[in-house]
Amino acid sequence: MIGAGNDPLMRKLEPAPAGRFSKESKVETLSGTHLIVESKVESLSGTDLIVVSNREPYEHRRLKGRLVCRHTDGGLTSALDPVMRRLGGTWVAWGSGEADRETVGPGDLVEVPPDAHSYTYRLRRVWLSPEEVKGGYLGYANEVLWPLCHVTLDRVAYLKAFWSAYRALNYRFADAVLDEIRQRPGPVWVHDFQLALLPGLIKKTVPDSRVALFWHIPWPGPDVFRILPERRELLEGLLAADCLTFQTAGYVREFAECAHQFLGAEVDRSHDTVQHRGHRTKLTAQAISVDFRYISDLAKTAEVESLMILARRRLGIRQGIRMGLGVDRLDYTKGLLKRFWALDTFFTRYPQYRGRFIFVQVAVPTRSEVEAYRRYREVIRETASEINARHAGGGWHPIEYLEGRIEFSTLVAYYRMADLAVVSSVYDGMNLVAKEYVASQVDEAGVLLVSQMAGASDELTDGLIVNPYDPEGLADAIKQALEMPEEERRRRMRTMRRHLQTHDVHGWVDRCLRDAGVRSEDTQGPGG
């Protein structure tokens, strides 16, 4: 196992922000001296679109006495950051970085991204109390809603106190959003399960505001959702939105069934609209995507090609050795344990691949404050070590386990190098790793193995669709990918790349805002 601190390929530190601020303050970072905000923020560019999420796109921390700014991990922030760079506007999010308060000006605003030379947007930080973080975010959102929606019911850890903290967290966000609406009236686009009550809180104060919400994770059916004691309150908060968007049509149907069963709401036959208490909510499905052109262009750069050479040397990948890749947060829904079991089965069944195939697993720690995640992290480490001990020989071992954050250019280098990538989530709203891998495959030589339980499998049908609960089947799929003829590999990958080229993240946001009734000119930022 290699930790981030030992591997230069796993470092991820970015410069502090260089924006247009009225008072200068010098901050030393790894890449030099930059300006941070201490006073008034001058005319920030962009539109009046207000995006709201629990996680912020950039956070500030202190490292050995220096103030550093980094892009946060996660599919939501990775997808929305390039969109906000294009559209401008305000992103409202929890200020979770330990030095976040030091970098904001009046209104708790800071201009991001820190390394932008032209287009930027406003980040408005919300400050949560320790009780709201512990009970609302870590408790209700992550120990109740997350496992419930991913149908891992044995991991649901419900406490009544979590609900009051979750409500308080949503009220805290509502205060910030309503203040933004008063200053810059515009459409509000809320994101994900941490803020399910927010549409109702906004509409209660500003009934004529335009509010949409995108639900990034799966939505469970009524038989599962009935477990939640506050199911009515949660549904009513969501149905206050003018438009609710889910990753797939299947999740739309499940939500409509829940609204009908638990609220008696009227649902039309096509599940396009729900009417409840005189309010009409539009339901749509729009699969989130990635910035295909940016990733594809990055994969062709000299920087990435140099990183590929360094990575091969670092991992000991000599000519004739094939490489598989997994990239995941250390979350039990990603199916890492079952993936490792499948690799164990693969090397047991097909010993001819010992010394000829290596699997690189990039594991990004997440939610380490939650005991279930800490235990899962330890189990994954131990399992990787056990499998390596069982199959290693001659200086080779089957799993190269890299734990820590990773720069995106390095990640793209891994994506481009990999002969195959495995996405074996036990349940996933979409999974953008699958799409990032395809976007990075400019040589069109790799094979994607994607779980049938991930939303991405509905789109990327030229990948090998696998069942994460079938380790023998996954082991056989790995062998199939390694032995697939070159012509077939290129045909499959070319088809998926064409799909992503026409269904990228910018098209996704345009479709979502169109569904929400927001006119294109309302969100035509500096890059639009």
What pLDDT, in 10s, does the model give residues 408-434? 999 999 999 999 999 999 999 999 999
Residue 487 has pLDDT above 50, yes or no: yes
Helices vs. strands in the chain: H and E counts, helices first: 17, 21
CATH number where 513 lies: 3.40.50.2000
Dump pLDDT digits (tens) for 427-477.
999 999 999 999 999 999 999 999 999 999 999 999 999 999 999 999 999
* The two structure tokens encoding residue 203: 């509409």
In a domain, 79, yes or no: no
The reported pLDDT for the residue numbered 317 is 92
Strands 273-276 and 279-285, how do they pair? antiparallel
- Average pLDDT on 507-515 reads 93
Q: Which residues pair with 456 in a beta bridge?
A: none
pLDDT above 70 for 33: no
How many angstroms separate the most distant Cα atoms in the chain?
71
For residues 248 and 312, membership in a common domain is answered with: no
What pLDDT sits at residue 275?
Answer: 97
Q: Is residue 124 part of a domain?
A: no
* Residues 411 and 346 both lie in one domain: yes
Report the domain count for the chain: 3
Same domain flag for 256 and 387: no
The confidence band for 312, taking pLDDT boundaries of 50, 70 and 90, is: very high
Average pLDDT score over residue span 275-297: 96
Final residue in a domain of this structure, among 81, 115, 149: 115
pLDDT at 406: 87
Average pLDDT over residues 220-249: 98
Confidence of residue 47 (pLDDT cuts 50, 70, 90): low
Task: Considering only residues 3 and 173, tell me which one the structure prediction assigns the higher pLDDT.
Answer: 173
Confidence of residue 504 (pLDDT cuts 50, 70, 90): very high
Same domain, 296 and 180: no
pTM: 0.87
In a domain, 7, yes or no: no
Residues 210 and 356 in one domain: no
- φ/ψ (deg, to 5) at 442: -70, -20
pLDDT tens digits, residue range 191-232?
Answer: 999 999 999 999 999 999 999 999 999 999 999 999 999 999
pLDDT at 270 (0 to 100):
87
User: 10 Å Cβ neighbour count for 86?
Assistant: 20
Last residue of a domain, which of 82, 115, 148?
Answer: 115
Same domain, 155 and 63: no
Share of the chain above pLDDT 90, in %: 78
Residue 3 lies in a domain: no
DSSP string, 257-325: HHHHHHH--EE-TTS-EEEETTEEEEEEE------HHHHHHHHTSHHHHHHHHHHHHHHT--TT-EEEE
| Residues 416 and 315 placed together within one structural domain of the fold | yes
Residues 357 and 221 in one domain: no
Is 272 in the same domain as 317?
no
Residue 84 lies in a domain: no
Percent of the chain with pLDDT over 70: 89
- pLDDT above 50 for 22: no
Residue 46 has pLDDT above 60, yes or no: no
Residue 229 sits in the same domain as residue 308: no
In a domain, 105, yes or no: yes
Q: With cut-offs at 50, 70 and 90, classify the pLDDT of residue 119.
A: confident
Q: What is the mean pLDDT of residues 296-300?
A: 98
Task: Answer yes or no: do 270 and 337 share one domain.
Answer: no
According to DSSP H, which parts of 29-159 are helical?
75-87, 130-131, 146-149
pLDDT at 45 over 50: no
Q: CB count, 10 Å around CB of 438? A: 31
pLDDT for 43: 34
Least confident of 5-14, 45-54, 143-152, 163-172: 5-14
pLDDT score for 232: 98
Pair 261, 299 in one domain: no
**pLDDT at residue 405, as a whole number:** 85
The residue segments making up the domain with residue 347 are: 292-502
CB 435 within 8 A of CB 411: no
Dihedral-angle region of residue 405 (phi above 0 means left; psi in -120 to 50 means alpha; beta otherwise): beta
Tell me, yes or no, whether 85 lies in a domain: no
